[in-house]
Structure formats: structure tokens, C-alpha cells
Structure 1
Amino acid sequence: MDTTRGNYSFNLADCIQYGIAHHHDMVNASLDVDFSKEQVKEATAKLFPHADINANFTDNLKLATSLIPDIANGNYDKKIPVQFGTRFSSSASGQVNQTLFQSDYFVGLKAARVYRGLATKTRTRTEIDTKVAIIKAYYSVLTNQENIRLSKANLDQLRKTLSDTKARYDAGVAERVDVDRIQVSYNNGVTQIENQIRELVYTMQLLKFQMGMPQESNLELRETVKDLNVESFAADTINYRVEDRVEYGIQTTQIALDELNLKNKKMAYLPKLSFFLNYGVNWFSTQFGDLYKTGFGASALGFNLSWSIFTGTERLHQIRELGITLKKSENDLDFLTQQIKLEVQSANTSYQSNKATFVTQKTNMTLTQGIYDRIVLKFEQGVATSLDVISAESQLTQARTDYVNAMLNTLISKTDLDKATGRIQ
């Protein structure tokens, strides 16, 4: 992986585009598509002519001896030793073979093309998963940034209250216990922001990882949660088709492959027919220097037909096995359909609940902010205690936390719903 440090300023679309180009899984998925293309070419190449060249050289250090009747002297009962051949021999031949018909060639070619479609769909699924992971990590960064912004705003208010209380204490109109109580609350607020900053650093690292970006790079986001406009998210109606899910397409492609495997095994009963043409030259000599002076050519052409008439019952059982595999794949498609429907219902239920909670928590945070502001004002006027201020500040902190969590849950559940209904492609 390239670890060169870079500086990037991205929005969500930029993050997704970068991730599709650089994430580890996406790179491998693209390589799988390239691999499937080569498999199609490989299957096609099997239909082309195949040529072979063979050559050899032999030095018969000692010729083999055979016993034959003594025909020359008319003594057929007597065996005499003789040697046939020459000490040196050599040959070279070439042959071209062309398959004219073989059932698995044509079925295999079609299967290779279907497999290419499967690799493409698998890449699409990887792309969808990558997008979803990036979107969720992106939302986590934005909500953490918003949480820090709200915490700092609250801390600024608390800092002013602490400063005013110290001034009143110095003037003798406030007690030391009031200063200490507000100081404790302020210290907790500082520590809380420090922890939130650490969480933000981690979520940014996670976003880079999901994008396939080196951790050494500097990434800044050009958007905030206000740009997402979560409040405007409509209550989606469940309007989708299971066929829009890439998993459905993958399973139908698997069924097509199983059908081709079954067809291929059935067609294996058909014969194989091929054509051949060869030409060769032979050289013989008792002396090595004279070996290649005179050659004797030979050529032939013809057809080969092979047909497995009976192979026991092995092939029959293989056909039945592949038929069972096909039925399982079809059953898996039915199950996947029901699974998708249930997943959509679950994602929609979660989204609607989180959206309702978000609307409530946003209202609660606004109300709690108003309560806090009024309590602080009363405290400054001397009609409220420091305990009232601390209690109101604690409630505001909890309301802010609930609001940010509800926002993040709404964004994530909306993403899950879009994925379940096949809207993320």
C-alpha cells in the first residue's frame, strides 16, 4: 500500500470515490473481474487449433542383436545373429489438432462467461459494502465533531458562570462552596472534551481505513452535520424490489452456473470428434557427419472419434448429484427472497424508531438549554443555588449526548435501510 503522506479535503462523495479506487477489497474484486475475463479467453482458446513439434536424436552405441534363420545358406534350422538399423538416427515431426466437436468446450465457454458475470456482481457487492462502511465511518466523524462543538459551547457558558461566581465571591456576595461546585463541573467538562477529541481521532482513523487511505495522510472533511440536514429525512415508504439487491443477482447467477454444470455432465454422453494433420522427417546414418544429408519424409491426416459408450453408473449418479445441487441453489434463492424482505422490515422499523427518537431528543436539548440558561440567570440574581446550576448543567450534558447519539443512530439506520432496499449501488 502506498504510504505517501497526502493532504485531502473531502466531502462524502469524495470519500466514497477514493475508497472505491483504493480500498483493499475493491482492488482485489477488480482483479477478480480481470481474472474472469482471462478465463473467458482461456475457454475460447480451447477451440483454436493446437500444434505440437517433436524432435529426437539417438546414438545406438551398440545395436540390438536378433537371431534369424540362415536363409542365405538354405539352413533354416540354424539361427544366426544379425543387427538391424544404423548407429545414428534422428527425427522431427509436427502435428496440428483441431477439435471439431466436444460438448464440454461449448458449455465451458458459456459457463466462463456466466462466471465473468458472477465476478462482476461480486465486485458490485464489495463496492456496496465499501460504500456502506465509508458512509457509517463518515457519519461517526461528523457526529463526534458536532458533539465536541456542543460541549465547547456549554463549557464556554460554564466558564463565564465560574468567572462571575469567583468575582462575586471576591466581593463577598457568594460562598466558597459555590465556586468549588462550579469548578468541579467545569473540570469534568474539560476532561469530557479531551475524551471526545480522542474519540474523534479514532473515528477519523477508522474512516481512512475504510477508504484505503494511508494513516499518515491528512484528511479534512468539508461538511458538517448541518449539511446532512437530518431533520429533512422523510419517513420512507417501503417501495423496493428484491431483484434490486445484488445478492439476488449473485444467487440467480449461481443457479445459471449449476444449470450449465448439469447440462455439461449430460452432454458428456456425446462423442468427441477431432481432425489432425502431421508431417515428419527421419534421418539415418552409420556416421554422425552424414546423418542429416538425406531425410525421409512422412505425412498423414485423419479424424479421431472417441465415444464413451458405457462408464458404469458413475456418470448417472453425477448427473443426479448436480441436479440436487441445482435444487439447493433454487431453494437458497427462495430463502434469500424472504431474508431480504425481513431485513427491509427490520431496517425500516429501526430507522423509523431512531428518527422519532432524534426528533424528540432535539426538542429536549432545546428545552434543556432554555432551562439551563434561566437557572444560570437566577443564580446570578441570587434566587437559585449553585446546586441548581450543576443539576441543570448535568441535564444539559445528558440531553446533548442523547441528541448526538440519536442523530448518529438515525444516519446509520437510514444507511442500513438504503442498503436493504437496494438503493445503494
Structure 2
Amino acid sequence: MNKTLLLATFALLPLGLFGQTVWTLRSCIEYGMKNNRNSVIYDNEKKAADAQAREALAAYLPSVSLNGALDDNLKVQETVIPAGIFGPEDLRVAFTKKFNTNGSAQLDQTIFDQSLIIGLKANKYNVQQATLNKKKSEETIIYNITTAYYQIFIYREQLGMLKTNLEKYRQQIDITSQRVTKGVLLQKELDKVTVDYNNAMSQIVVSESNLTLSENQLKYEMGYPINDPIVVDSANAQGSIRIVAPVMAENNVFSAYNRTDYQLSQVNAALLDIDQRRIRAGIFPRLTAYARYGAIGFGDHLGESFSTMSTYSAIGLKLSFPLLDFFKRNAQYNQARYKHLNAMEQLKLDEGKYQLEYENARTKMKKEQSNVENNRRNIELAQSVFDVTNLQYEKGTTDMTDWINAQNSVKEAQNNYLNSLYNLILARLELEKTAGSLKTFYTAL
């Protein structure tokens, strides 16, 4: 009996441990990289780009086509041979029979097509574009998961502070209630603290709701089942705040090329350049070789058209030289050229824009660091004032209004601190985003 119970306990142990899996920020991001639906979409786009490259290359590979035809000439066409060639009168002759069968196989091979050669160069950039889109998707996943993860941490901190404040109100209600019973205080003093106690209860309900919503948001960003529980490592989150928001170095060097958006714009400009060169190359002739083998048969009856088939074959070259499409091609070329010029100008605009975003993010980061430190000190100061006021109230040297005001100052300082802490995390993420280093940030966790 004991052995059976022991085996059952060990069998259930892994399930219990799995149910209590604690998620760190890094593990959340790792899970999101694999399970977020956007990852699947951009993986498919990468595969589509590879397939597109193979399709473009296939245009320069040999192609074989099979053709077959069966004609039933309900009324055979006749041709007139003028008089004087085979006799004094016109001669009507049919050069076919009622049934005509024809089958052939043809191989075509492009030998020279300058526009196609230039177009093949786009394959490399199409693959790069798909790869960069996937990288951008991963950066978005890192940003969104980190934001949701620390939102949970902030709401948990807020919930803990609210419960601590609620306990202070509860204790004060007990003390004040005894004094009212003894006739030392008026009922209105008890009502004042009861109102704040009820308000604290309402704030806790709101905070618990916000915590649930933020957990659902994290699950969504991760691609995690929305109905399954998730346990975020609060201790790890509090410790990693130092990693997420360290003091910034003053000698950071910005490069717009580190931004995935900038790299995508460069690829787009390169594709537009290839497009204009491909259109311009349309002026060159296209040379194609072919080889054909087939059989043809004629007969007054269907079977005879098959039994009398004779074979034929041919090889040759086809030269295609466009002459009268100059105006159309020139208009297309100019459109492509101006699009490319605009793309190059947009690159210059983006470089300045990204530099501005980075500098603004650095400035905001410094400001939020200062706010966090000030608000942390302000909590300590407000708590010190409350402790003194609480002692004075116990000795009867101050009233309930002063006590409530001191406690409200503590709550306000706590809220300001939590808001500034979350803003600091967002500022750091924005800094990493504008610097193009979100993946570096993730690997450093």
C-alpha cells in the first residue's frame, strides 16, 4: 500500500511542478519567439521569398512543352490553282483531309535576355527583405512582451502597497471605534477613516482586475493559451529592473543602420534601382533557342489520321527585338527612376528622424531615472511624516484629519513612484528600440 502511494506521488509530482512553472522575462520572450503567430507569418514570407527566387531563376532554365491537336474538318477547305498552270481552267484542290492529327514536343532555352538577367539580382534583396521583416517582428515581440511583463510587476507592487495601506486603515478603525465607544471621539472621526478604508478596498478590486488584464495581455503577446494560468517571477522582475534600466553611458554612438526599419528602406531602394534598370534593359533584343519534334497525320477516317502519321523535327533560334514600344518603356522607366530617387531621399530623411528619436529617448531616459530616484526618496519622506503624525495622533496631539492627510500623502508618493518606475522601463525599451538594439537587450537578460 505504501509503495503504491509513493509511486502515485512521484507520478503526480511533475504535473504539480509544471503547474507551478515560474516565468522570467527571458523565458517569456523565448516562448513568444516560438509561439507568437506573427513568427509563423514571417517564416512563411521568408519561404515565399525563397520560392520567388527559384521562380525567377527558372525563367533562364530550359522549358519543355507538349502540344497535341485533332481536327475534324466538317467541310474541307479548298484552294484554287489558276488556269494555265495545270490546264485551261481553274483547278480546285484540297490540301488536307477530313481528319488531321498533330502532336509535338518543344524545348525552349533563353540564351540572352538582359532585362531577365538584371531582374535575377532582385532575388537576393527579396530574401533580405523577408529576413528583415522577420527580425522586425521579433523586435516587436520583445518590446510587447517586456512591456506586458513589467506591467504585471507594477500592478503587483501596487496591489501590495494597497493591501498594506488597507491594513493601516483597518487598525485605525479598530482603535477609533474603541475611542468612539468610550466617548473620547465623535462618530465622524470613525466615518472619515471608514470612507478611506472603503476607497482602499475599491482600489484593490480595480488593481486586481488590472493585474488579470495585464496577465492576459502577456499571454496574448507570448502566444500562450489564454485560459491557462501563468506565474510571473516577481522577485526576478524586481531584480532585473536594474538590468532593464541601468545608468546610461554618455559616449553612446548612434548609427541609423542598426535600425531594422532603415535596413528595410535600403533594401527597398535597391529593389527600385533594379526595377528601373530592368525596364531600361528592355531595349535589348532577346535571343532564344528551340528544338521541336513532332508527328502529323491525315486521313478520311479518324483511325487513318493516326496510322499514317509521319514525324518531323526542327531546331532554330528566335530573336525578338522591340521597336515601337519606346514611348511606353520610357514612361515606365521614368516612373521607376523617380520612385528610386524618392526612396534615396527618404533614406536621408529617415536617418535624421531616427537620430532625433534616439536623442529624445536618451533625454527621456535621463529624466525618468531622476524621477524614480526623487519619488523613491519622497516615499521615505512621506512615510516618515506619517509615522510622526501617527504617534501624535496616538498621544492625542493631532486629529484624524491630519492622520488621513499624512496617509494620503504616502499613497500619492507610492503611486508617483510606481508610475515613474514603469515610465522608466518604457523609456529604456524605447531607447533600445530607437538604437536598434532590442535583440541585444534580450540576449543580455
Tell me if both proteins adopt one fold, taking TM over 0.5 as the criterion: yes
In 2, the alpha carbon distance for the partners of 1:69 and 1:266 equals 52
Find the aligned partners of 2:322 and 2:87 in 1 and give their Cα distance. Answer: 52
Deviates more, 1:27-36 or 1:405-414: 27-36
Partner SS for 2:311: strand
Between 360-369 and 164-173, the greater mean CA deviation after superposition? 164-173
Letter in 2 for 1:103: Q
Indicate if the aligned counterparts of 1:248 and 1:333 stay in contact, CA closer than 8 A.
yes
Report the 3-state secondary structure (helix = DSSP H, G, I; strand = E; otherwise coil) of the residue aligned with 2:67.
Answer: strand
Shift in Å, 1:422: 1.4
Q: 1:208 corresponds to which residue?
A: 219
State how far apart, in whole Å, the 2-side matches of 1:362 and 1:209 are: 32
The 3 A distance-change label for structure 1 pair 318 and 383 is same
SS of residue matched to 2:227: coil
1:284-333 Cα distance to aligned partner (Å, 9 max, x none):
22233333323211000011112224533333343333222222111111
Is 1:226 the counterpart of 2:238 in the alignment?
A: yes
CA drift at 1:164: 2.2
Of 295, 299, 313 in structure 2, the residue corresponding to residue 281 of structure 1 is: 295
Aligned partner of 1:164 in structure 2 is 175
Work out whether 1:58 is the aligned partner of 2:99: no
Change in 2 beyond 3 A, CA 1:69/1:35: closer
Report matched runs for 1:248-327 at 5 Å: 248-309=262-323, 311-327=325-341
How far is the alpha carbon of 1:399 from its aligned partner? Answer: 0.8
Match of 1:76 among 88, 101, 107: 88
Of residues 140-149 and 62-71 in structure 1, the stretch that sits farther from structure 2 once superposed is 62-71
Residue type of the alignment partner of 1:283: G
Deviation at 1:52, TM superposition (A): 0.8
Query: Which residue pairs with 1:86 in the alignment?
Result: 97
Cα deviation digits, residues 201-257 of structure 1 (max 9, x gap) = 222222222223342222221134522334972134333322111112111112211
Matched, 1:198 2:212: no
Find the residue that maps to 1:362 and give its secondary structure.
helix
Partner of 2:442: none
Structure 2: how far apart are the matches of 1:81 and 1:327?
67
What amino acid does structure 1 have at the position aligned with 2:72? D
1:329-368 CA-partner distances (Å, limit 9, x unpaired): 1111111110011001111111111111111001101111
Q: Shift of residue 405 of structure 1?
A: 0.5
1:117-128 maps to which residues of 2 (within 5 A)?
117-128=128-139
Quote the offset at 1:407 in angstroms.
0.6
Distance 1:338 1:80, change over 3 A: closer
Q: How far off is 1:60 after superposition?
A: 2.5
Q: What is the root-mean-square deviation in Å for CA atoms of aligned residues? A: 2.3
2:167 maps to 1:153: no
Task: Output the CA distance in 1 between the equivalents of 2:190 and 2:206.
Answer: 25
Kindly state the Cα deviation for residue 146 of structure 1 after the two structures are TM-superposed.
0.5
Contiguous gaps of at least 5 residues in structure 2: 1-17, 440-445
- Aligned twin of 1:95: 106
Q: Which moved more, 1:405-414 or 1:83-92?
A: 83-92
Alpha-carbon distance between aligned partners in 2 of 1:86 and 1:176, rounded to the nearest angstrom: 119
Match of 1:33 among 18, 29, 46: 46
Partner of 1:391: 405
Shift of 1:114: 0.8
Cα distance change, pair 373–230 in 1 and its aligned pair in 2 (3 A): farther
Contact 1:161 1:376 in 2 (8 A): no
User: What is the CA–CA distance in structure 2 between the aligned matches of 1:66 and 1:275, rounded to whole Å?
Assistant: 34
- CA positional deviation for 1:135: 1.3
Identify the range of structure 1 (81-90 vs 216-225) with the bigger mean alpha-carbon deviation.
81-90
**Counterpart among 53, 59, 64 of residue 46 in structure 1:** 59
SS in 2 for 1:218: coil
Q: Which amino acid in structure 2 is aligned with residue 227 of structure 1?
A: G
The 3-state SS of whatever aligns with 1:104 is helix
Q: Is the Cα contact below 8 Å between 1:240 and 1:422 reproduced in 2?
A: no
Quote the Cα distance in structure 1 between the aligned partners of 2:154 and 2:58. Answer: 55
- Which amino acid counterpart does residue 12 of structure 1 have in structure 2? L
> Which of 415, 430, 437 pairs up with 1:423?
437
Measure the CA separation in 1 of the matches of 2:378 and 2:424: 16
Aligned match of 2:198 in 172, 187, 194? 187
- 1:268 Cα deviation (Å)? 1.8
Query: Aligned in 2, Cα 1:51/1:25: closer, same or farther, shift over 3 Å?
Result: same
Alignment-derived partner of residue 7 in structure 2 = none
Letter in 2 for 1:229: I
Whole-angstrom distance in 1 between the partners of 2:95 and 2:323: 43
Cα deviation, residue 259, structure 1: 1.7
- Are 2:29 and 1:16 equivalent residues in the alignment? yes
Cα distance in structure 2, aligned partners of 1:285 and 1:75: 28
State the alpha-carbon separation in 2 of the partners of residues 168 and 236 from structure 1. Answer: 58
Q: Can you give the 5+ residue segments of structure 1 that lack an aligned partner in the other structure? A: 1-5
Q: How far apart, in 2, do the equivalents of 1:266 and 1:61 lie?
A: 50
CA contact (8 A) 1:125 1:246 kept: yes
TM-score, with structure 1 as normaliser: 0.91
Q: TM-score, normalised by structure 2?
A: 0.87
Distance 1:69 1:269 in 2: 46
Checking the alignment, whether the CA contact within 8 Å between 2:254 and 2:355 is kept in structure 1 is no
Change (3 A) 1:206 1:324: same
- Number of aligned residue pairs: give it: 418
* Residue identity in the other structure for 1:307: F
Which deviates more from structure 2 when the two are superposed, residues 317-326 or residues 196-205? Answer: 317-326
> Relative to structure 1, is the Cα distance of residues 288 and 243 closer, same or farther in structure 2, using a 3 angstrom cutoff?
closer
DSSP 3-state at the match of 2:121: helix
- Partner AA of 1:417 in structure 2: L
